[in-house]
Structure 1
Amino acid sequence: MPHADSAPTRATTRRGRRRRRAVRRGLIAAAVVVALLASAVGAGALLLRSEVTKNVTTLPASQVFPDEAQRPAPSKGAKNILLLGSDSRQASDQHDLDGAGGQRSDVMMLAHIPADRSGVQIMSIMRDTWVDVPGHGQAKINAALAWGGVPLTVRTVENLLGVRIDHVAIIDFAGVEGITTALGGVWVDNAMPFTSGGHFFAAGPIELEGPLALRYVRERHAFATADYQRVQNQQALLKGILDRAVSRDVLGDPRQLLGFVSETSKYLTVDSGFTTGEAASLAYSLRGIDGSAIAFFTMPTAGTGTSADGQSIIRLDPGALAKVRSALAGDSLQELAKSPSADR
Structure 2
Amino acid sequence: MKPETEKRKKHVGRWISVGIVGVVVLALLAAIGWYFLRVNPSLQQVETIETAFPDESLRPTVAPVEGNANAPVNILLLGSDSRASDGSLLTGLGDRADTILVAHIPPDRETVQIMSIMRDSWVEIPGHPGLRKVNSALALGGVPLMVQTVEGIIDQRLDHVAVIDFEGFKDLTTALGGVTLQNDIAFSEGAFSYPAGQITVDGDEALAYVRARYPFSDGDYQRAHNQRALLRGAIEQLMTRENLTNPDRLATLFATISPHIATTDTFSLPVVYDLASQMAQLDSSRIQTFTMPTLGTGMEGSQSVVYVNWEGVEAIRTAFDEESMSGFAPAPER
The two structures have a TM-score, normalised by structure 2, of 0.81
**Who is 2:98 aligned against?**
106
- Which gives a bigger RCO, structure 1 or 2 (Cα 8 Å, sep 6+)? 1
**Who is 2:257 aligned against?**
264
**Who is 1:23 aligned against?**
none
- Residue 235, structure 1, aligned to residue 225, structure 2: no
Larger Rg: 2
User: Which residue identity does 1:182 align to in structure 2?
Assistant: A
User: Which residue identity does 1:118 align to in structure 2?
Assistant: E
Give the secondary structure class of the aligned counterpart of 1:128. Answer: coil
**Whole-angstrom distance in 1 between the partners of 2:148 and 2:323:** 20
Kept in 2, the 8 Å contact 1:114–1:331? The answer is yes
1:102-251 to 2 correspondence within 5 Å?
102-136=94-128, 137-251=130-244
Gap change, CA 1:103 and 1:72, over 3 Å in 2? same
Gap change, CA 1:262 and 1:153, over 3 Å in 2? same
Q: How many residues align?
A: 297
User: Which residue identity does 1:82 align to in structure 2?
Assistant: L
Match of 1:65 among 36, 49, 53: 53
- Residue 296, structure 1, aligned to residue 289, structure 2: yes
Kept in 2, the 8 Å contact 1:49–1:276? The answer is no
Give the secondary structure class of the aligned counterpart of 2:44. Answer: helix
Gap change, CA 1:191 and 1:180, over 3 Å in 2? same
**Whole-angstrom distance in 1 between the partners of 2:99 and 2:79:** 4
Cα deviation, residue 160, structure 1? 1.4
**Who is 2:46 aligned against?**
56
Give the secondary structure class of the aligned counterpart of 2:285. Answer: helix
Kept in 1, the 8 Å contact 2:168–2:260? The answer is yes
**Whole-angstrom distance in 1 between the partners of 2:75 and 2:38:** 22
Give the secondary structure class of the aligned counterpart of 2:307. Answer: strand
- Residue 326, structure 1, aligned to residue 318, structure 2: yes
**Whole-angstrom distance in 2 between the partners of 1:289 and 1:244:** 13
**Who is 1:82 aligned against?**
76
**Whole-angstrom distance in 2 between the partners of 1:89 and 1:144:** 19
Encode CA deviations 1:287-315: one digit per residue, 9 max, x unaligned: 232212221122111111111x2211110
Gap change, CA 1:48 and 1:140, over 3 Å in 2? farther
User: Which residue identity does 1:69 align to in structure 2?
Assistant: S
Cα deviation, residue 194, structure 1? 0.3
Encode CA deviations 1:149-169: one digit per residue, 9 max, x unaligned: 110110110111211111111
The two structures have a TM-score, normalised by structure 1, of 0.78
Cα deviation, residue 85, structure 1? 0.8
After TM superposition, what 4+ stretches of structure 1 lie above 6 angstroms from structure 2? none
CA RMSD of aligned residues (A): 2.5
